[in-house]
Amino acid sequence: MSDQAESPYGQPEQHPKAAEFAKLRAAIADERVREHFPFRFLAANETFARLVDATAHRILASIGALPSTDGISVQQAKQELSIPWRRTIPLHFLYEKLSDSGILARDGGRFVPGPVAVPVFDDVAAELAAREPGAAVAVEILQTLIDEAKKFFAGEATGDEILFAPAQLPLWLKYFSNDNLLYSINNKVGAEALSRLVPADGGIEILEIGGGCGSGAEQVLRTLGSDVKRYRFTEVAETFARHGEKAAAAAASPSTTVESARIDMTLPWAAQGVEPGTFDAVYAVNCFHVAPDLDFVVAEAAKALKPGGAVVVSECVRPTKLARPIHAEIIFDFLDSFTDVITDPVKRPTHGFLTPAAWRATFEAAGLGDVTILPDVDAIAEEYPDFVVGAVIARAAR
C-alpha cells in the first residue's frame, strides 16, 4: 500500500510514513492486540503529539517563560516569574516535551531555542478534528490550559479547579468516551486482556475500580457479553458515577448482574463492601497511577481476588528504557492528584505513568505473580518510542 493511500493528510516530515507504521504494527506480536492499533489510531496519536508541542509552546509564551538565545533553566523561570514550587512539575514537563521534540534544545541545565519549527496550534487542532471528530475534545481541554496558564502558574488556581470546574464536565464526558479514539484505546486493550481470563464455561466476576464515566465498563461488557456473570462498577466521584452506572447497565448482557457502588480506593475496601476473595478480576483503566499510595491500593486489589484471579490495569505505560515525557501527561501534570504520590526508587520512581519494570515490582511486592504486559510495550518501543499503551495483568496464586 502506498504512503499516499495510507497517509493522505499531511507532509512526510509531519507524520511517520506508512512504512514506519507498518514496522510498528509488525512489532506487536499478538495478532488480536495488533488489530486494536490501526493506522488510523497511529496517525491520530502523532497529530495529538504535535498539538501538545504547540500547546506547550503557547503556554510558555503566555507566561513569559520561553527561552532567549541565552537559554533558561526551570529554576530561573521559577524565580523570575515567582512561580510556586508545586507548579514547577508541569513547568518542567513543558520544557522537557519541547526539548524532546527539538523545538527547544539543552545546553547543560538550560533550555535554548532548537532547530525544529513550532507547529501552528490552530492548524494542528483543525487537522485532528477533521481526522477524528471524537478526539477533538482534546483541543478544547488543551485550549483551557492555554487560557488559564497565567492564573495557574501565578498560584491563583489549582489545576483541579481549572480543569474540573462544573462548566468543564461536558468536556470530560466526551474525553473519557469510546468515541474518543485517543482514550478508547485503553478500554479496548483492557477488554482484550480481560477476555483472556474468562474460564472455559464463562461466568467471570469483575470488580472495576475508578470506573469514571463508564466507557471502560461499556467496552468490557460489550466485548465479553454473556461471559460476564457479575460486573461491579465503582467510582468515588458522584457526577461521574451516575453516568458510568447508566453506561454499564446499557451495555450489559441480559444474563449479567450489574452492581454499582461508591468506593474510594485509598481507603480499606472491605469496609466499603468489597469482601475478600470474591472476584475473578479487579480491573482499572487509567486509575491506579493516581493512587497516593499505590502499594496500599494494589494490596487491597489482591485481597479482593479469588484464588487464581487477576488484577488488570489498562494504562499509558512508560517504556522502561526511555526517559521521555508522554504527551498525554501535559493535561494531568497540572493536577495535584496526578503528581502528589508516594514514590519508590524501584516500584514507583516518579509520579504519573509507570514503566513495565515498575509495575512488575509493584505487583510482585503484593504477592501477585505471572506479571505480563499486553502488548510488550518495552519491545515495541525499541521500534517506535511513542508507543505507550498497554494492559498489565498480574495473577494471584491458586
Higher pLDDT, 20 or 14: 20
The confidence band for 17, taking pLDDT boundaries of 50, 70 and 90, is: low
What pLDDT, in 10s, does the model give residues 212-228?
999 999 999 999 999 99
Q: Which pLDDT does position 18 carry in this prediction?
A: 65
Q: Which pLDDT does position 259 carry in this prediction?
A: 97
Averaged pLDDT for residues 307-321? 94
- Please give the single-letter amino acid code of residue 279: F
> What share of the chain has pLDDT > 90, as a percent?
80
Q: What cell was used for 178?
A: 469510546
Across the chain, mean pLDDT equals 92
Q: Which pLDDT does position 151 carry in this prediction?
A: 97
What pLDDT, in 10s, does the model give residues 128-159?
999 899 999 999 999 999 999 999 999 999 99
> What share of the chain has pLDDT > 70, as a percent?
95
Q: Which pLDDT does position 40 carry in this prediction?
A: 86
> How large is the angle between the packed helices 88-101 and 74-81, nearest 10 degrees?
130
Distance between CA atoms of residues 269 and 374, nearest Å: 27
Number of neighbours of residue 246 by Cβ within 10 angstroms: 14
Distance between CA atoms of residues 376 and 30, nearest Å: 9
N- to C-terminal Cα separation, the chain:
48
Dihedral of the alpha carbons of 142, 291, 178, 187, in degrees to the nearest 10: 130
CA 343 vs CA 58, 280, 292, 297, 352: distances in Å: 31, 29, 9, 14, 10
Q: Which pLDDT does position 1 carry in this prediction?
A: 30
Q: Which pLDDT does position 6 carry in this prediction?
A: 35
DSSP three-state, residue 5: helix
Q: Which of 183-197, 313-327, 362-376 has the weakest average pLDDT?
A: 313-327
Q: Which pLDDT does position 23 carry in this prediction?
A: 81
The confidence band for 13, taking pLDDT boundaries of 50, 70 and 90, is: very low
* β-strands 389-395, 305-316 pairing: antiparallel
Total-model pTM:
0.92
Residue 39 has pLDDT above 90, yes or no: no
Length of the chain: 398
Higher pLDDT, 393 or 17: 393
Distance between CA atoms of residues 322 and 334, nearest Å: 22
Residue with cell 471528530: 133
Residue 169 has pLDDT above 60, yes or no: yes
The confidence band for 8, taking pLDDT boundaries of 50, 70 and 90, is: very low
Higher pLDDT, 381 or 82: 82
Number of neighbours of residue 266 by Cβ within 10 angstroms: 14
In 3D space, the residue among 327, 369, 383 whose CA is nearest the CA of residue 352 turns out to be 327
The confidence band for 11, taking pLDDT boundaries of 50, 70 and 90, is: very low
Q: Which pLDDT does position 22 carry in this prediction?
A: 81
> Is 56 in contact with 143 (CB distance < 8 Å)?
no
**H-only helix segments in 253-320:** 294-304
Distance between CA atoms of residues 100 and 97, nearest Å: 5
Structure letter (DSSP) for residue 72: B
Distance between CA atoms of residues 196 and 216, nearest Å: 16
Phi/psi of residue 119, each to 5°?
-60, 145
The confidence band for 2, taking pLDDT boundaries of 50, 70 and 90, is: very low
Q: Give helix then strand counts, H and E, for the chain.
A: 18, 9
What pLDDT, in 10s, does the model give residues 58-97?
999 999 999 999 999 999 999 999 999 889 999 999 999 9
